[in-house]
A and B are shown apart, each in its own frame.
Chain A
Amino acid sequence: MYFQEKNVKSLLVLSVLMSKKLFHIVLVLLLGFLLQTCIQEPEIKPNTNRGNFDALWKIIDTRYCYLDYKEIDWDAVYKKYSPHVDTISNKYTLFDLFAEMLAELKDGHVNLYSEFDKSRYWNWFTDYPANFDSKLIFKNRYLGENYRIAGAFRYKKIAEGEVGYIYYGSFSDSFNDKNIFEIFSHFADCKGIIIDIRENGGGLLTNSEQLASCFFTEKTLTGYITHKTGNGHSDFSKPNAVYTLSHEKLKWERSVAVLTNRMTYSAANDLVCRMKYAPKATIIGDKTGGGGGMPLSSELPNGWMVRFSASPMYDAEMQNTEWGIEPDVKVSMSEIDKLLGYDTIIETAVKILTKD
C-alpha cells in the first residue's frame, strides 16, 4: 500500500512539473517498468556441485508428491547430504551422492539420468520373493515353444484347452484391438483366461486402460488421480475420477485371472487397480510393487535429468496405490512346484477358472 501511495504522489508531482506530452511518455515508461516487475523469474542455480545439489533438492521438495504420505523429512535429508557436496571432486561421486539422497524416497519411479549412469531404487521388489520364474512359463505345460504372438501378447491355450494364457511383459509394448480380437477368438471355447503381468514394470497408461476396458460391461469408477498445485508438500488438486469404460466392440464376459508379483509396477499396477473392479476378474499372486505416482521429469544445471513421482493415483476407495495392491487370492511360488516344473500361481489361477 505504501509503495502504491508513494507512486501516486510521485506521479502527481511529475504531472505538475512536466508538460502534458512528456508526462504521458513518462507514465508509459513507468507503467512498463511496473509491469515488468509483475513477472519475476525464478532463480537459476549455477552449474556447480552446490548448485546442482540445491536444484535437485528443490525439485523434489516442490514437485515430488509423496513426501508427506511417506513421512519423509526432506529438510533433514538436506542436512544429512549437504555437508558432503563441497568435498566432492568428480562427477561420479557427485552422482552417487545424489543417487543415495534420492534413494531416501524409496520410490521406483525416481531416477537420476546422466550420460554415464542411471540411478535406481529397486528394493521395492528385491526385498521380496520373486514369485516368478521365466523358465517355467516357457515350459510345454504353459507357453512352451509354439505359442502365438499378437502385438505385445504371447498366448496359448493351457490346461487341456480349458484356459487361455496370455503373458504381457511390458506396458511399453503396444497392441491394438485386432490383436485382442484374435486372442479372444482363439480362446473362444475356454472357460476363462489368465493375464500374467508378473515382471511387468509398466509403460503406457493408455495400454492399461485399453486392455482393462475389454473386461468391463459398463463405465466404472476405478480410481482417482490428483496433481500438485503448489510447492507445498500437500498442495494437491481435488481428486479427479478415473473411469474405465467398457470397450465398444471387444468384451470378455467370462472369468479372467490377473497374475501379479512384486515386479508388477506402475502401469501394470494401474491395470490391477482397474481390474479389481472388473465384474469377473480375480487378482492372484503377490502384492504388486506399486508405483502409483505418475512420474514427470526435470533437469539439473549440469544436464542430468531427474524423474520423480508427481501425480498420486488412488483406487476407487481413495486408497493410495504407491505401496502396491493386495491380490484377491494371495499365492506364493512353491519351491517344490518349481522343481516339478509347475508355476504355483498359474496352477492356482487354472483351478479357480475351471472349478465350475
Chain B
Amino acid sequence: MKKIFPVILILLSVSIQAQQENDSLYALTTSSNTVGAGFARILDPYLSPFEYSGLQIRLQNKAQKFFNPANNKLSYTHKGFIDGGWAHHPSRNNSMMFFNTNYSFGVNYHIRPANNLMLHLGGSWDLGVGGKYLSRNVNNPFSLDLHTGLNATAGLQHLFSLWRQDFRIRYGAQTPLLGCMFVPLQGITYYEMFMLNNWQPAFHFSSLHNRQAWTHFLDFDIPLNFSTIRINIQHDYLRYKANNIVFKKSGLNFAVGTVVDLYVFSGKKRKIPTRFISSYE
C-alpha cells in the first residue's frame, strides 16, 4: 500500500553529498491542503438575537507525522484553517461578515484492529480567533471570537481497492473538553473593554457544561500518478453559553485538495533515506 500514495521529496538543500543513501526508517510528514465552500449558520446575540445564515469559504492545512519512525503508534498533527463568509438576517434585510482562524496541535494513538483499518484516538490543543461584523450596529458592530482549549479527537481510516484502484476513506471527529473563552456581557461595549480596560467578566472557563461542539469530517482520498486528490465533507457545530447568552455556529463544508507525503531535510551532508513510513499507513 505504501507505493500507492506518492512520495514527494521536498529538497530544502540540494547537493551532491545529500544523495548518499541512508537505510534508517524515516517518518514522512503527510500534508494536506484543501479549499472548500459551504453553508454557515451563526447566532451571536451580542450583535443580533437572530440566527444569520449564508455561505463561507475555507482553506485548511493538516500535517501529520509519527513522533518516532520506529514507533508507528504515536503521531502528532498540526492543523490550521481560515474561513470567512457572508451571512444574512432571516428577513434578508441585513448582512454580517465573519471570519475564523484556528490552529491546533494534536497527538494521536494509532490502533490497527484489522488489515487496512486504522483507528486513532487522541487529543488536541487549539487556539481560535475570529470575528463577526454587523456594520449597521452602533457601538456593537463587531464581536470577537476567542477561545483556546483541549479537545478529544478520534478517527477511523480504511484502505480499500475498487476497479483495480486503491482508495482511502477517513472519518474524524473532534469535541472540546475544557478551555477558556472570551464572552463579554451583552450590555458592555468594546469601548469600555478596550479603552477603559474593564474586562470583567469577559473570560470564562469552558467545559462540556457551557461549550458543546463537534467537528466531524469524511475524507475520500484518490491516488493519482503524482499526487493524491482529497474530497472532503466536514460538519461543524458549536454552541456555547456565558453571561446568560447563547452563541451558535454550524457549518457544512465541501472541499477538495491534495495530500502529499513530505520528506523534509536540510544540510549538505544529510543522507537521503530509502525507507519511509507515513502516519496515514
Specify which chain A residues have a CB less than 8 angstroms from the CB of B241 in the assembled complex: 38-39
Among the interface residues B93, B187, B239, which one has the most CB atoms of the partner chain A within 10 A?
A: B187
From A63, A113, A307, contact of B187 by CB (8 A): A63
Q: Is the interface of B mostly helix, strand, loop or mixed?
A: loop
The residues in B between 90 and 139 inclusive whose CB is less than 8 angstroms from any CB of A are 90-94, 134, 136-139
Q: Is there an interface contact between A41 and B189, defined as CB atoms closer than 8 Å?
A: no
Closest residue of chain B to A242, judged by CB?
Answer: B196
Q: Is there an interface contact between A113 and B136, defined as CB atoms closer than 8 Å?
A: yes
From B45, B48, B138, B191, contact of A42 by CB (8 A): B45
Q: Is there an interface contact between A294 and B139, defined as CB atoms closer than 8 Å?
A: yes
The answer to whether the Cβ of A295 comes within 8 Å of any Cβ in the partner chain is yes
The answer to whether the Cβ of B82 comes within 8 Å of any Cβ in the partner chain is no
From A44, A296, A302, A307, contact of B189 by CB (8 A): A296
Q: Is there an interface contact between B189 and A230, defined as CB atoms closer than 8 Å?
A: no
The residues in A between 55 and 77 inclusive whose CB is less than 8 angstroms from any CB of B are 55, 59, 63, 65
A35 to B207, CA, bound (A): 10
- Known: A38-B241, A113-B136, A242-B196. Is A303-B93 also a contact (CB below 8 A)? yes
The answer to whether the Cβ of A205 comes within 8 Å of any Cβ in the partner chain is yes
Q: Is the interface of A mostly helix, strand, loop or mixed?
A: mixed
Q: Is there an interface contact between B192 and A225, defined as CB atoms closer than 8 Å?
A: yes
Specify which chain B residues have a CB less than 8 angstroms from the CB of A115 in the assembled complex: 93
- Known: A205-B191, A311-B189. Is A44-B49 also a contact (CB below 8 A)? yes
Among the interface residues B188, B189, B208, B241, which one has the most CB atoms of the partner chain A within 10 A?
A: B188
Residue-wise, chain A 300-311 has the 8 Å CB interface mask toward B (1 for contact) of 011111010011
A113 to B185, CA, bound (A): 24
A316 to B192, CA, bound (A): 17
Specify which chain A residues have a CB less than 8 angstroms from the CB of B138 in the assembled complex: 295-297, 307
A264 to B222, CA, bound (A): 68
A49 to B240, CA, bound (A): 31
Q: Is there an interface contact between B92 and A225, defined as CB atoms closer than 8 Å?
A: no
Size bin of chain B's contact surface: 35 or more
The residues in B between 29 and 87 inclusive whose CB is less than 8 angstroms from any CB of A are 43, 45, 48-51
From B187, B195, B198, contact of A206 by CB (8 A): B195
- Known: A205-B191, A310-B187. Is A38-B90 also a contact (CB below 8 A)? no
- Known: A227-B192, A242-B196, A303-B92. Is A39-B210 also a contact (CB below 8 A)? yes
Q: Is there an interface contact between A39 and B196, defined as CB atoms closer than 8 Å?
A: no
Specify which chain A residues have a CB less than 8 angstroms from the CB of B92 in the assembled complex: 303
Q: Is there an interface contact between B208 and A35, defined as CB atoms closer than 8 Å?
A: yes
- Known: A113-B136, A296-B139. Is A310-B189 also a contact (CB below 8 A)? yes
A294 to B248, CA, bound (A): 27
Q: Is there an interface contact between A305 and B45, defined as CB atoms closer than 8 Å?
A: no
Closest residue of chain B to A41, judged by CB?
Answer: B246
Specify which chain B residues have a CB less than 8 angstroms from the CB of A297 in the assembled complex: 134, 136-140
B48–chain A nearest beta-carbon distance, Å = 5
From A39, A227, A305, contact of B246 by CB (8 A): A39
- Known: A35-B212, A206-B195, A303-B93. Is A42-B246 also a contact (CB below 8 A)? yes
A274–chain B nearest beta-carbon distance, Å = 13
Among the interface residues A36, A209, A227, which one has the most CB atoms of the partner chain B within 10 A?
A: A227
A242–chain B nearest beta-carbon distance, Å = 6
Q: Is there an interface contact between A55 and B136, defined as CB atoms closer than 8 Å?
A: no
A63 to B94, CA, bound (A): 21
Specify which chain B residues have a CB less than 8 angstroms from the CB of A123 in the assembled complex: none
Q: Is there an interface contact between A299 and B189, defined as CB atoms closer than 8 Å?
A: no
Specify which chain A residues have a CB less than 8 angstroms from the CB of B246 in the assembled complex: 39-42
B210–chain A nearest beta-carbon distance, Å = 7
The answer to whether the Cβ of A47 comes within 8 Å of any Cβ in the partner chain is yes
From A44, A65, A228, A305, contact of B94 by CB (8 A): A305
B151–chain A nearest beta-carbon distance, Å = 15
Specify which chain A residues have a CB less than 8 angstroms from the CB of B94 in the assembled complex: 299, 303, 305
The residues in A between 227 and 246 inclusive whose CB is less than 8 angstroms from any CB of B are 227-230, 237, 240, 242
Specify which chain B residues have a CB less than 8 angstroms from the CB of A55 in the assembled complex: 49
B213–chain A nearest beta-carbon distance, Å = 11
The answer to whether the Cβ of A298 comes within 8 Å of any Cβ in the partner chain is yes
The residues in B between 160 and 211 inclusive whose CB is less than 8 angstroms from any CB of A are 185-189, 191-192, 195-196, 198, 208-210
Q: Which 4 A-B pairs have the closest CB atoms?
A: A303-B93, A228-B187, A303-B91, A297-B137
Interface residues of B (CB under 8 A from A): 43, 45, 48-51, 89-94, 134, 136-140, 185-189, 191-192, 195-196, 198, 208-210, 212, 239-241, 244, 246, 248
**12 A–B contact pairs at CB < 8 A?**
A38-B209, A39-B210, A41-B248, A225-B196, A228-B187, A294-B189, A295-B139, A297-B137, A298-B49, A299-B89, A303-B92, A305-B136
Q: A227-B187, A296-B140, A299-B49 are in contact. List 18 more A-B contacts (CB 8 A).
A: A44-B51, A47-B90, A59-B49, A205-B191, A225-B196, A228-B186, A237-B188, A240-B192, A294-B191, A295-B139, A296-B138, A296-B187, A297-B136, A297-B139, A297-B140, A298-B48, A299-B50, A310-B187
